[in-house]
Structure 1
Amino acid sequence: MASEKDMLRRQLRTARDAMSAAKRCELDERIAGHVRSLPCWHDAQVLFCYLSMGSEPETRPLIERAWHEGKRVLLPRVVPDSPVLTWHYVNDFSRLVRSAFGIFEPVLGVHPTCPPSTMMELEGAVAIVPGIAFDRRGFRLGYGGGYYDRFLAAFRGTSIGICFSDGVHDDLGRDGCLDLWDRAVDILVTDEGVVR
Structure 2
Amino acid sequence: MSDLAAQKAAARKAAFARRKSAHGAGLVGRAGHLSQVLAGFRGVPLAGYMPIRTEINPLPAMEEASAHGPVGVPVITGEGQPLKFSRWEPGCKMKEGPFGAQIPAQDDFFEPEIVIVPLVAFDRKGGRLGYGGGYYDRTLQQLRARRATLAIGFAYAAQEAEVLPLEPTDQPLDMIVTEQGVLTLA
TM bucket normalised to smaller:
0.7 to 0.9
Q: CA deviation at 1:105?
A: 1.4
Q: In the alignment, which residue of structure 1 is the partner of 2:52?
A: 53
* Counterpart contact for 1:137–1:171, Cα < 8 Å: no
Q: Which residue of 2 aligns with 1:84?
A: 82
Q: Which letter does structure 1 place at the counterpart of 2:171? A: R
For 1:113, the aligned partner's letter is F
1:134 to 107, 114, 122: 122
1:184 CA displacement: 0.7
RMSD over equivalenced CA pairs, Å: 1.9
Match of 1:64 in 2: 63
State the shift of 1:92 in Å. Answer: 3.1
Query: What is the 5 A alignment of 1:1-196?
Result: 1-19=4-22, 21=24, 23-26=25-28, 29-30=29-30, 32-38=31-37, 41-45=39-43, 46-68=45-67, 70-107=68-105, 110-114=106-110, 119=111, 125-155=113-143, 156-172=148-164, 177-196=165-184
Aligned pair count?
176
Task: Verify the 8 A CA contact 1:74 1:88 in the aligned structure 2.
Answer: yes
CA distance in structure 2 between the aligned counterparts of 1:2 and 1:64, rounded to whole angstroms? 37
TM-score when scaled to structure 2? 0.85
Aligned residue identity for 2:152:
I
CA deviation string 1:34-76 (max 9, x = no partner): 12222x54223222111111111011111111123x2211111
Deviations 1:87-124 (A, max 9, x none): 111223442111231111123xx23122xxxx2xx6xx
Q: Does the CA contact (< 8 Å) of 2:80 and 2:135 recur in 1?
A: no
TM-score by length of 1: 0.81
Deviates more, 1:150-159 or 1:130-139: 150-159
Aligned residue identity for 1:3: A
Aligned equivalents of 2:23, 2:58: Cα separation in 1: 18
How many angstroms does 1:19 deviate by? 4.1
Q: Which structure 1 residue ranges, 4+ long, deviate > 6 Å from structure 2?
A: none
**C-alpha spacing 1:150/1:93, structure 2 compared with 1 (3 Å):** farther
Q: C-alpha separation between the residues in 1 aligned to 2:18 and 2:34? A: 23
Asked if the contact 1:83/1:145 (under 8 Å) is kept, the reply is no
Distance 1:79 1:20, change over 3 A: closer
Conserved? CA contact 1:152–1:185, under 8 Å? no
